[in-house]
């Protein structure tokens, strides 16, 4: 495959990187760049070389398809490529026409000059993979933009627009017109300047206030990212740029390879690859056609319906929002407007953008207005009969070929589809609350869902900025089916002797964004209560503590009622331990004859996390989830699982499935142990016995 296209513009050689999807510097492209630069350097008709990218971007850095393979470090590696460009006797100019991050920016820093389009994004995001830049980024960027800006960019990993760095030595020009033409002009000027070609390695980092800047950066990294060593290591690597360049490069290289071996980096790299893998449906043929989505309908203007509507409005897609009652409709529209106004006050939107998005919204009481929509998402109360009634109306109203989606979080999508004459057009689109904020979208594939319907919704999810994971039909799909067992275990721990605060604190200290009891209060404890009531009838063999039921019987539904597992004052979301809950717990223990015991934090974490893992193994074996990494993506994107642990299935692999299964059997043998609950799922037991892992199953 030709990954580099060489052309001429008079006396300038133009090298265009073309390695979809992100022009990653894979081995083949690295070799072709070296060959093309050598050819241009040897051509007497060429006075300068311009390197740019195809498809509206410069380079996304490393080729992720080579991660973990010998090609990733094979010669010529990126350091070779940069050294060749830097040593070239003819000026090499990077024409940054679009996104330029990671190794792409490191290559550009090694060129003699850089010209960027004003809106191009540049950055070094390696810390988000638990690494630091490994090809000179920590040494050359401070020499280009100064210590303070370099620290901010490298330690955060966030890209910035080229226009914000136009006043630095990073760019020789930031332009609105043709970036390649502008780069060619810079190359000619350098070639005819009669001076040595500029090299960032020879620049000096301004040392004024360096110690204060570094101290502040160290404190911020240690405080906000205590579990991610790459952030603090990045500060130290950047600090080395104040001295000798060669010594700084050695420090960067040593740090890079040290971090590469850490479990945090392995987990973060797994999460990165897992998110990209989630978009690929194994049995969906490449090139499956998709349906055009130009107009979307949403049924229900409540919290979920309003949030769902905002996703489409944000992407410039008109939305018909239908409600049954005028008051509910007005309340829903007012909430959407208020959310946009808050974003404008925070500077995330300007007033014109708010008006544009609200203008795309058509609120109505007329169900018939859904007739010309290409996709209709139902977001009504989580009750099968209510949803079936909506879909019967949609079947009679929606145009032929329209996709009908349910936002159900637990119900049978096949049963919903069966009440229509077009089950092939029906699937689940389970948004997570708040729907306009949370990235996760579970796409629930029904038995009859047509391939083009699935392909369309997966494509649409990217358009609206969601991370989509495909699930087959079961009660709770992937996320909620697993979280139910996590919650069961958390409540059992309190029944046996822990406090809700201890359980929450142990899991939050381990890395979860929120403990299970705080999460229950936020979501509404009545939701779990309704699910349990169904379980008592449908699955009488499942063992549940009735402690959470006692809580709900007292109307303690969480933040919305001002009291749940905690109490809340004046609309504040801060949880306050409540002695009433302590008394309720003590009374329940007496009622069931339990003498509380001391439970340490390690047991709390293991029981809750391994409960997730065991149910995840069942989902894999049943084919509900396509792959273990999809389960990880669900928990990383939707449930606050720490990215630096990689997701529940990746974490279990890291611990070792043999050790996970062994610990589960120990829990089963405890006096209060639930032997059926802790029986390792067949897939987990088999892999543990074989010395295998979920991600190699």
Q: Which residues contact 174 (CB under 8 A, 6 or more apart)?
A: 115, 116, 117, 118, 162, 163, 165, 166
Element (H, E) at 298: strand 296-299
Give whole-number Cα distances, 61 to 17, 213, 429, in Å: 11, 28, 33
- CA gap 464, 458 in Å, rounded: 10
Q: Are 641 and 647 in contact (CB under 8 A)?
A: yes
Q: For residue 660, count CB atoms less than 10 angstroms from its CB and return exposed for 0-12, middle for 13-18, buried for 19 or more.
A: buried
Q: Is 281 exposed, middle or buried (0-12, 13-18, 19+ CB in 10 A)?
A: middle
Give 160's contacts (C-beta < 8 A, 6+ positions apart). Answer: 121, 122, 123, 153
Q: Which residues does residue 52 pair with via DSSP β-bridges, in sequence order? A: 16
The answer to whether residue 71 is catalytic is no
Helix 682-690 and helix 657-668, axial crossing angle in degrees, nearest 10: 130
How far apart are alpha carbons 695 and 628 in whole angstroms? Answer: 6
Cβ neighbour number for residue 186 with a 10 Å cutoff: 22
d(CA 199, CA 85): 10
Annotated active-site residue in 35, 66, 71, 126: 126
For 558, the 3-state DSSP assignment is strand
CA distances from 674 to 338, 542, 591 (A): 48, 10, 19
Interior/surface letters 227-257, b for 16+ CB within 10 angstroms, e for the rest: ebbbbbbbbbbbbbbbeebeebbebbbebbe
Q: In what order do the strands lie in the sheet with 375-378?
A: 361-364, 319-322, 296-299, 375-378, 403-406, 426-431, 440-445, 467-472
Residue 219 and residue 101 in contact, taking contact as beta carbons nearer than 8 Å: no
Is 623 in a helix, a strand, or coil?
A: coil
Beta-carbon contacts of 509 under 8 Å, excluding residues fewer than 6 positions away, are 601
Sign (positive or negative) of CA dihedral 347, 351, 353, 357: positive
- Catalytic residue among 86, 106, 228, 496, which? 106
State yes or no: is 106 an active-site residue. yes
The one-character DSSP state at 567 is: B
Alpha carbon distance 616, 255 (integer Å)? 35
Q: Which two tokens stand for residue 396?
A: 């009679």
The secondary structure of 410-430 as a DSSP string is SS-HHHHHTTSS-GGGEEEEE
CA distance 302 to 335: 9
Residues marked active site are found at 106, 126
């Amino acid at each position: 495959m030709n990954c580099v296209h060489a052309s001429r513009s008079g006396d300038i050689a133009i090298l265009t990187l073309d390695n979809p999807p992100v022009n990653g510097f894979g081995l083949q492209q690295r070799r072709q760049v070296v060959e093309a630069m050598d050819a241009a350097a040897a051509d007497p008709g060429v006075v300068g070389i311009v390197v740019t990218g195809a498809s509206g971007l410069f380079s996304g850095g490393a080729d992720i398809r080579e991660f973990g393979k010998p090609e990733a470090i094979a010669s010529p590696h990126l350091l070779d490529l940069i050294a060749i460009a830097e040593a070239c006797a003819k000026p090499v100019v990077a024409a940054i026409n679009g996104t330029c991050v990671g190794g792409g920016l490191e290559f550009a820093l090694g060129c003699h000059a850089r010209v960027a389009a004003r809106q191009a994004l540049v950055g070094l995001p390696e810390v988000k993979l638990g690494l630091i830049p490994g090809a000179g980024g920590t040494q050359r960027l401070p020499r280009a933009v100064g210590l303070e800006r370099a620290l901010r960019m490298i330690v955060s990993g966030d890209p910035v627009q080229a226009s914000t760095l136009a006043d630095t030595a990073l760019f020789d020009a930031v332009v609105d017109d043709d970036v390649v033409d502008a780069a060619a002009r810079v190359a000619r000027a350098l070639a005819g300047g009669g001076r040595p070609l500029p090299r960032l390695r020879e620049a000096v980092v301004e040392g004024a206030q360096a110690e204060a800047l570094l101290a502040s950066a160290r404190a911020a990294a240690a405080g906000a990212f205590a579990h991610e060593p790459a952030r603090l290591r990045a500060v130290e690597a950047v600090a080395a740029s104040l001295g000798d360049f060669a010594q700084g490069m050695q420090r960067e290289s040593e740090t890079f390879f040290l971090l590469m071996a850490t479990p945090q980096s392995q987990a973060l790299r797994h999460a990165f690859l897992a998110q990209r893998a989630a978009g690929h449906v194994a049995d969906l043929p490449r090139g499956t056609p998709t349906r055009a989505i130009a107009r979307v309908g949403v049924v229900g203007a409540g919290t979920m319906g309003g949030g769902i509507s905002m996703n489409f409005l944000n992407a410039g897609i008109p939305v018909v929002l239908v409600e049954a009652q005028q008051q509910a409709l007005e309340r829903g529209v007012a909430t959407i407007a208020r959310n946009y106004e808050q974003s404008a006050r925070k500077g995330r939107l300007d007033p014109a953008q708010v008006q544009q998005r609200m203008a795309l919204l058509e609120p109505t009481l007329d169900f018939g207005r859904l007739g010309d929509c290409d996709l209709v998402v139902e977001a009504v109360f989580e009750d099968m009969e209510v949803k079936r009634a909506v879909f019967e109306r949609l079947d009679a109203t929606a145009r032929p070929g329209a996709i009908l989606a349910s936002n159900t979080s637990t119900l049978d999508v096949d049963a919903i589809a069966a009440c229509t004459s077009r089950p092939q057009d029906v699937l689940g689109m389970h948004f997570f609350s708040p729907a306009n904020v949370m990235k996760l979208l579970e796409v629930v594939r029904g038995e009859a869902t047509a391939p083009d319907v699935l392909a369309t919704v997966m494509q649409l999810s990217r358009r609206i900025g969601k991370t989509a994971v495909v699930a087959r039909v079961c009660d709770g799909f992937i996320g909620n089916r697993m979280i139910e067992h996590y919650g069961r275990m958390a409540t059992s721990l309190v029944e046996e002797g822990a406090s809700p605060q201890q359980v929450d604190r142990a899991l939050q200290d381990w890395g979860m964004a929120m403990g299970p009891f705080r999460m229950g209060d936020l979501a509404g404890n009545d939701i779990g209560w309704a699910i349990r009531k169904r379980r008592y009838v449908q699955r009488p063999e499942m063992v549940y503590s009735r402690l959470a039921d006692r809580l709900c019987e007292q109307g303690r539904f969480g933040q919305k009622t001002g009291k749940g597992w905690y109490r809340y004052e004046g609309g504040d979301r801060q949880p306050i331990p409540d002695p009433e809950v302590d008394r309720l717990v003590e009374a329940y223990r007496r009622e069931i004859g339990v003498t509380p015991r001391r439970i340490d934090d390690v047991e709390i974490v293991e029981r809750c996390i391994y409960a997730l893992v065991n149910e995840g193994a069942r989902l894999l074996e049943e084919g509900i989830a396509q792959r273990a990494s999809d389960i990880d993506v669900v928990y990383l994107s939707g449930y606050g699982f720490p990215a630096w642990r990689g997701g529940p299935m990746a974490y279990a692999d890291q611990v070792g499935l043999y050790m996970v299964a062994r610990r589960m059997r120990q829990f089963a043998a405890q006096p209060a142990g639930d032997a059926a609950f802790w029986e390792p799922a067949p897939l987990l037991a088999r892999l543990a016995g074989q010395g295998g892992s979920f991600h190699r199953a």
